[in-house]
Each structure stands twice: as structure tokens, then as C-alpha cells.
Amino acid sequence: MHKEDHPLGLDKATLIPRDEHTVSRRHISDNALSVLRKLDSAGFQGYLVGGGVRDLLLEKRPKDFDIATDATPEELRSLFRNSRIIGRRFKIVHLRYGREIIEATTFRAPHDVAVELGENSSRKGIRNLDSAHSTAGMILRDNVYGNVDEDALRRDFTVNALYYRTTDFAILDFSTGMQDLKDRKIRMIGDPAERYKEDPVRMLRALRFSAKLDFDIEEETLKPINELAYLLESISPARLFDETIKLLASGQAEATFALLQKYQPGNYLFAPTLRALLTRFKARDNAAELLQLALKNTDNRLAEGKSVTPAFLYAALLWPVVKLKLELNSLPKLNAAQQFNVAANSALAEQLTYTSIPKRFTQVTKEIWEMQARLETRNRRAAEGAYDHPRFRAAYDFLLLREDGGENLGGVGSWWTEFQEASAEERENMLEQLPREQKPKRKARRRKPARKEN
């Protein structure tokens, strides 16, 4: 390794040449490689950065490939037809290749407070519209562009700030990323408290990477986390939803959730009833157990290359909340289905003030819940209806989860397992054996006298 002598801030990097690291082009997506080639031939710098480099060095398969470049978002737009500028606070460019999205970001520079205030500044060509802080030090806009070395210092953790380039296949390390990777440490670049104040979501990211990579959080990086957790109150529910999904779909949901319960930042993702059920009233309705199983199930599915949906995750998280609400808010004028609906809506509404779950997911969450009663009903019509429902599979998986979590449903789960594996003839037999549907007894209703109109 040696310090590279180069303009554009590259002199500040430790350069790890190709024969001293294990990142190989073979493990990088062809699309990411082609983006890097195209940037290079257009005269721009381009680096693979973030999880792509970090995970390859750890011999893990990266979730996605992020690229850092000196091309501005607008230049990227004109260079790549398949591109879209996303975000205002922090502009990134999405390059779409079928199902794969490559994220390209322009090198960020430190914020010049004088520029933000509209005072004279040494930085030319920068308008104060591109950068903004709140009085609490939170970064409101981060679109001031700079060099690669400045970009490295704007990133969160040292292991996320390793830059790989395809011009000579070297890795550039501007902080202590390579060493921290060896020591398995999550270390914040710069002053941790300041960096959390700039963007409180970094606290959740520290917990996520620690669980996902099985790294320790370095002492100074960990220290301010409980004290500053309250700053997450200022993060929009939409961003907290995105972050929750990343936390739970990390492949290490169980370990991640344990950290979310151990440290304060976890409290800003879940509504109070759910938190109470997971901490003080763990045993109630097997809330903790059901959740644990759902998390394990999520990790297993991801390990098998299957997808997980936020709808199912929230169905499991909030199921004990629905049951509790059902019990507490008995509304005598409503029938069972209506009562259930009120409880389900209330559980979702409470959670939505923390994480704004998009409607396409909450819709499915509700369907999974509503299907439970149908799957439990032992009669032909309900069974046939449930089996034909587009949400059958998810609802059935959820039913098994409830049973595994200790709910006694009279073995209805294995009935459905058998039913799905049976031949058409056997199925018919199974349906035949179900108790006849009980017609609801009709009460003799007395007609009300017609109201007088006046």
C-alpha cells in the first residue's frame, strides 16, 4: 500500500492495488461494470463504493451496487437514457437495467456554512439552495458537489467508504476502512455525535450493519446512540418505513431486532402498544414468540432466495396488537367481522404515525388478517372461498406461524397443508367431511313502522 500522488484529492488515499485485495470483476454486476466503463469513456471518474465493495471484501454477495462519480446528476441524466433523478434532500440517480437498479451519486463536499448563509465563499459556482442545515445541525439538503476525498468523508462508516475503480482495479481507502473491515468494526467517519445530528438515521444504520455483518460497533460510535435517539422523531415516517424494511430484510432480522430492543433508536420505529407487548407484556398472546418466529422465517426465506413482503412482516408484528385492541374495545353494536375491522384499522393507524406503510402493503396486511377467520372456519363454503383467494398462500403461511407461536387453532393448519397436497378427489372428500354450514338463524324481525316524513 502507498499514498497515491494525484490531484483531485486522491493524494489523501491509501491505494490498495489489485494484487493486494480480493475484489474481483467477476463478482460485480455487468451493468455496474458497464456504467463505470461508460463514465470513463465520457471522461468522468467512476467508482464502485458502499455495500458493493464492502460485501465483496467480506466475500458476501452485495445487495446492490452503488457508484460514486464526479458527473453531476444532470450529466448522468444526459449520459444514460435509463436514468432518473430521485430525491431532493439528497439527489441520487437511478439507472435501471431490467430488475436491477444501479444507484449513482455525485461526489458530495462538506457544507460551507458561509455559503448556506449566502455570505462570500471561496467555493465558486455553489448556490446556497444546494445545501441547508436545521438549527439542530441536521442536514436538510446535501447537494454540494466535490472531489472523491471529500465524498469519502461525507459517508457514514469507514467500511462503507472504500472506492473501487476499474481503470486499474485498485481500491482507495480515505479513512481506516480496510483495517476496520479486518477488525470487524463499524466506525463512524468524523465525530459520531455530529454525524448523528446531521442525519439521525445513521444510528439505525449502525445497528443494521452491526447485525448484518456481525461486526461490533466501535465504542465512540456507539456511545451517543441512546442519548441522541430522540432525534429520530424529526425523521419522516416515510423514511422510517424504508429504514425498517432495510433493517428487517437484511437477512439478519433476528439479530437486528435484538439490537433494536437493546438500544433506544429502536423505539422510534414501532408504536407504543406494540412496544409494550414486546417488552412488558411479552407473554401476552405469545407476542414476542410470534414475532421471533416471523423474523426467523424472514431470514430463512431470504437465505433461500425467496422474497419477503412488508405486508407479511407488519401482519406478524401487529397481530398481537389487533387481538389486544379487539379485547379492549368491545363495541356491542358491531358484529364480529366489524369489530375485527375496527381493531385492525386501529392497530394500523397507530403504527402509521411512526412508519407510513404504503397502502398497497397495508391492504395486503389486512387481507392476511381477514383471511384468518375464513381459514379457521370449518365449512365447505368458507374453505373453498379461502382456497381460491389470491392471498391464500400468505394467509396460510401466517396461520402456520400463529400455530407455531403457540396459538391453539385445533390443528387447522395441518388440515390446510394436507388439503393443498391432496389430489382433486381427496380434496372433495375432505370438503365432504367438513361440518355442514350453519345457516345463521334469522330472527323474526318486526317491521318498524315507516317514519313519517314531514
- Catalytically active residues are 64, 66, 156
Q: Where are the beta strands (DSSP E) in 53-127?
A: 66-69, 83-86, 92-97, 100-106
Q: Which residue, 116 or 199, has its beta carbon nearer to ligand ATP?
A: 199
CB 246 within 8 A of CB 355: no
Q: How far is the CB of 93 from ligand ATP (least distance, A)?
A: 13
Distance, in Å, from the CA atom of 214 to the CA atom of 210, rounded to the nearest integer, reads: 5
- Please report whether residue 370 would count as binding Mg ion according to CB under 5 A: no
Q: Which residue, 66 or 151, has its beta carbon nearer to Mg ion?
A: 66
**233 closest CA partner among 136, 153, 302, 163:** 136
Instruction: Choose the one of Mg ion, ligand ATP, none that binds residue 108, judging by a C-beta under 5 to 8 angstroms depending on kind.
Output: none
Chain residues binding ligand ATP by CB under 6 A are 50-51, 63-64, 66, 155-156, 160-161, 199, 201-202, 246
- Please report whether residue 51 would count as binding Mg ion according to CB under 5 A: yes
Closest residue by beta carbon to ligand ATP: 51
- What cell numbers appear for 70 in the block? 464526479
Instruction: Choose the one of Mg ion, ligand ATP, none that binds residue 130, judging by a C-beta under 5 to 8 angstroms depending on kind.
Output: none
Q: Which stretch binds Mg ion (CB under 5 A): 63-71, 122-130, 294-302, 330-338?
A: 63-71
Q: Are strands 185-186 and 100-106 parallel, antiparallel or unpaired?
A: unpaired
Instruction: Choose the one of Mg ion, ligand ATP, none that binds residue 366, judging by a C-beta under 5 to 8 angstroms depending on kind.
Output: none
String of contacts with Mg ion for each residue 64-93, x by CB under 5 A: x-x---------------------------
- Please report whether residue 289 would count as binding Mg ion according to CB under 5 A: no
Q: How far is the CB of 162 from ligand ATP (least distance, A)?
A: 9
Distance, in Å, from the CA atom of 403 to the CA atom of 372, rounded to the nearest integer, reads: 12
- Please report whether residue 242 would count as binding Mg ion according to CB under 5 A: no
Q: CA dist 197 to 111, 135, 224, Å?
A: 14, 10, 10
String of contacts with Mg ion for each residue 4-43, x by CB under 5 A: ----------------------------------------
For residue 127, the tally of other CB atoms under 10 A from its CB is: 10
- Please report whether residue 55 would count as binding Mg ion according to CB under 5 A: no
Q: Which residue, 147 or 339, has its beta carbon nearer to ligand ATP?
A: 147
Mapping DSSP to helix (H, G, I), strand (E, B) and coil, where does residue 214 land? coil
Instruction: Choose the one of Mg ion, ligand ATP, none that binds residue 155, judging by a C-beta under 5 to 8 angstroms depending on kind.
Output: ligand ATP
- Please report whether residue 251 would count as binding Mg ion according to CB under 5 A: no
Specify the amino acid at residue 105.
T
* ∠ CA 139-140-146, rounded to 5°: 65
For residue 303, the tally of other CB atoms under 10 A from its CB is: 9
Instruction: Choose the one of ligand ATP, Mg ion, none that binds residue 156, judging by a C-beta under 5 to 8 angstroms depending on kind.
Output: ligand ATP
CB 318 within 8 A of CB 347: yes
Distance, in Å, from the CA atom of 427 to the CA atom of 420, rounded to the nearest integer, reads: 8
Q: By the criterion CB under 5 A, which residues form the site for Mg ion?
A: 50-51, 64, 66
